[in-house]
Amino acid sequence: HNPYTVPASILSKLPAKLHLQPAHPLHTLKTLIHSFFLSTSSPTPFRTFDTIPPTVTTTECFDDLAVPKDHISRSPSDTYYISPDTLLRTHMTAHTPRLLREGHHAFLACGDVYRRDTVDRTHYPVFHQMDGVRLFEGAGEEEIVEDLKEVLGGLVVKVFGEGLQIRWVDTTFPFTEPSFEMEIMYNGEWLEVLGCGKLKQHVLGGIPEKYQGWAFGIGLERLAMVLFDIKDIRQFWSKDPRFLSQFKEGEVTKFKPYSKFPPCFKDISFWLPEDAGAYHSHYFHDLVRSIAGDFAENVELTDSFSKNARTSHCYRITYRSMERSVTNEEVDEIQEEVRKGAADTLNVELR
């Protein structure tokens, strides 16, 4: 498996910029968040950046943020590398140190981010994040954390409405300390909304030490699925007018499903390569997605066993179009391509 090949299915998504498409749910959510921050100008007005290109260096994405050398996010099984030192950004935080060095003390950076992941209804290899940063001069940790919680509390009221129950869960992130996850009680369960915290000194780079600040990161799809009642993350990429016509610029409307087409299940079994380190399930999920596109709804490992020092995996693939019925013949063709692709590129032995 060549770690420096980005599948054509991913490259084709680069120009889409869903967060810039008027009336698209992701654009509406982005605009809602922007309008909240643009109305809070103290101590510095917020600037917005949402057209930063997604190709970054390993220095920007990992080293400047002190991501450990052995961290899983650096692995080609999680990240789309273009070359050993360039990649498609895995988070918008990759741009924070540079924006700070350029002198921006309050900003929002929004864009498309890329990660190899599992195939299911809540994960997609391209998604959208918004990062926010605010610096203070001469403020202490207590003051910064208090401001952070107050501002983000105001944000979720703007997005979800009044009367919310909010809780802050202590956690750890490479770039902030202390760090928190914010959860809200929504439809009877706790929903994680964002991660945030006080910026660590190394992220602030060459900025004078008198400046300290906070940062947060939000996954737009996760929130939009809840707000717009969208049950399958593939839906955001739909060009079907039955999907797109349901949304108007600046309005949060609940999505009404137009149909539910039947699924088609196919199984595939294979022996893993003898060099176990050469295989990762993300590579197989990625292969299925690159061949089947959005016909692939779910990929699940249904069986795994070892025999004579070799390991076998069996996966069940659920194929289903969100827009039409798919014939068994179509799916058989795709499945045959998946089998051939697995043998040719993942070095597995089909059973």
pLDDT tens digits, one per residue of 272-315? 998 877 899 999 999 999 999 999 999 999 999 999 989 999 99
- Confidence band of 186 (pLDDT split at 50, 70, 90): confident
- Report yes or no: 311 and 278 within 8 Å, Cβ to Cβ: no
pLDDT band at 42 (very low <50, low <70, confident <90, very high): low
pLDDT score for 41: 63
DSSP secondary-structure letter at 144?
H
pLDDT beyond 80 at 8: yes
Give the pair of three-digit tokens for residue 279.
Answer: 């295989």
The answer to whether residue 344 scores a pLDDT higher than 70 is yes
User: ∠ CA(220), CA(221), CA(227), 5° rounding?
Assistant: 90
CA distance 133 to 214: 6
In 3D space, the residue among 278, 164, 175 whose CA is nearest the CA of residue 217 turns out to be 175
Q: How far apart are CA 152 and CA 83, in angstroms?
A: 37
Please give the full DSSP string across 318-333, using - where no structure is assigned.
EE--SSS---HHHHHH
Q: What is the pLDDT of residue 314?
A: 97
Q: Which residue has the higher pLDDT, 65 or 170?
A: 170
- pLDDT for 95-134, tens place per residue? 999 999 999 999 999 999 999 999 999 999 999 999 999 9
DSSP lists the bridge partners of residue 349 as: 271
Please tell me the least confidently modeled range out of 13-17, 162-166, 217-221, 238-242. 162-166
Instruction: Please tell me the distance from the alpha carbon of residue 56 to that of residue 91, in angstroms, as a whole number.
Output: 10
- The closest alpha carbon to 180, from 148, 212, 154, belongs to 148
Q: Are 248 and 321 in contact (CB under 8 A)?
A: no
Per-residue model confidence (pLDDT) at position 72: 87
Is the pLDDT at 248 greater than 80? The verdict is yes
- Beta-carbon count within 10 A of 30 CB: 24
pLDDT at 351: 94
Mean pLDDT on 12-40? 95
